[in-house]
Structure 1
């Protein structure tokens, strides 16, 4: 009987520990507390958001890469030198600090696609400020346009994307450059690996934003390519043989999803 009670106690303890550990490992970001106090938002790129295209993450045309206008440029405190590219945030206007918040205090979800440099916007993007420079359609979904710069509360949330991760191949036979887009889950790739069907896995080096490079391996052309993406929550996503052996530079391929 004593042994049975001990076994049940150990099992209960293990279940509690599992419940505490799993959310962080799963990267769901469920239960993430709202952060505020030093966070603000405004908008840029014009009413039609045309000025938000391109940007420091390398995503180019945000419509063709699937991000649309649900985007933001982040201050340096959040941008993390580009490693936060692809992460998703939920924002709410802080009605305790602004009269311009929309009734009902709605929230929006955006993907980090650009960098708001320091010494711009009157210092709103300077460290240690947490600032979101939104596309105009997103800003007016939170507050009246006349609000200018508004206080916000924010939190990390899972990225929900249609289809798989996308890998655009650029470069030349001696320099392979891969742009990773449409990443679900944590959203922000921290490390990318590439594998040919005749090689092992090679770690790629981040060039800028979500552009990853492999240099000195001229044997990749002519091989089917696989990718392994490591996200900020530790999730590993393998996309095996997504590019056939006859792939060409500038082509886009879709793989697995987080």
Structure 2
């Protein structure tokens, strides 16, 4: 059961300037890992509609799960005419390379998206290599509900949150066992959240807040017989 408390929300619809490149090939083999901790992006439903963000956009991992609309602009040689836009989810980090201060597009303060080749070639010819784009934040539209993947050990619980709709990027998580009070979780990395308080053998509930201030409570979404490595899904109103 999900209950929604609206603390205020706003998706910024303004368009901003950035650049985009691509990685890998059309198979998307590089989507198996990433700085957001999602793991296999195909298995978890993100597929190739993803991007690695530069430092200026990644925000130390706080942007993981946020969604963007991107269009190729001001490059008639390479932009595909009348192609429209693509929509992607932030799932990785494009690291800066300070040994090339003038040649690495992911160096601060530049705003940059490193796309899968499949998404890049929806906007421009792959020979372009890099293109000027405009982007804007949009609400994430996901199939199914929010998912919780539980990892760790009896003394330390790590929960990966993914497939989050609405703002997409989770800013705060609390967990409650059937025998505990609400416990504040801390961000381990990306969208992995942790607690050192023992919750094994208990049914679990979560309070999840996204960056737009929306909070949802998911009561007893994980049964008491859960095991590490399992995934659980809850319906949302994000």
Note if 1:72 corresponds to 2:55: no
CA contact (8 A) 1:179 1:211 kept: yes
When normalised by structure 2's length, the TM-score is 0.92
Q: Which residue of 1 aligns with 2:106?
A: 125
CA contact (8 A) 2:31 2:42 kept: no
CA contact (8 A) 2:83 2:122 kept: no
Q: Which residue of 2 aligns with 1:228?
A: 207
Inter-partner Cα distance in structure 2 for 1:165 and 1:51: 24
Q: Which residue of 1 aligns with 2:181?
A: 200
SS at 1:141's partner residue?
Answer: helix
Q: Which residue of 2 aligns with 1:246?
A: 225
Structure 1 moving runs of 4+ over 6 Å:
none
Structure with the largest fraction of helix: 1
Deviations 1:91-126 (A, max 9, x none): 0001x2452111114100000000000008931000
Measured at CA, do residues 128 and 98 of structure 1 come closer, stay the same or move farther in structure 2, by a change above 3 Å?
farther
Of structures 1 and 2, the larger Rg is shown by: 1
What is the RMSD of the two structures over their aligned residues, measured on CA atoms? 1.6
Inter-partner Cα distance in structure 1 for 2:220 and 2:23: 40
Equivalent position to 1:82, from 61, 65, 81 = 61
What's the CA shift for 1:51?
1.4
CA contact (8 A) 2:25 2:118 kept: no
Q: How many residue pairs end up in the alignment?
A: 229
What's the CA shift for 1:208?
0.4
What is the correspondence of 1:183-222 to structure 2 with a 5 Å cutoff? 183-215=164-196, 217-218=197-198, 220-222=199-201
SS at 2:59's partner residue?
Answer: helix
Inter-partner Cα distance in structure 2 for 1:49 and 1:137: 8
SS at 1:110's partner residue?
Answer: strand
Inter-partner Cα distance in structure 1 for 2:16 and 2:120: 18
SS at 1:193's partner residue?
Answer: strand
Q: Which ranges of structure 1 fall in alignment gaps of 5 or more residues? A: 1-23
Structure with the largest fraction of strand: 2
Q: Which ranges of structure 2 fall in alignment gaps of 5 or more residues? A: 1-6
Deviates more, 1:58-67 or 1:120-129: 120-129
Q: Which has the higher contact order (CA 8 A, sep 6+)?
A: 2
SS at 1:40's partner residue?
Answer: strand
Equivalent position to 1:104, from 77, 82, 87 = 82
SS at 1:140's partner residue?
Answer: helix
Note if 1:60 corresponds to 2:43: no
CA contact (8 A) 1:91 1:108 kept: yes
Inter-partner Cα distance in structure 2 for 1:188 and 1:237: 13
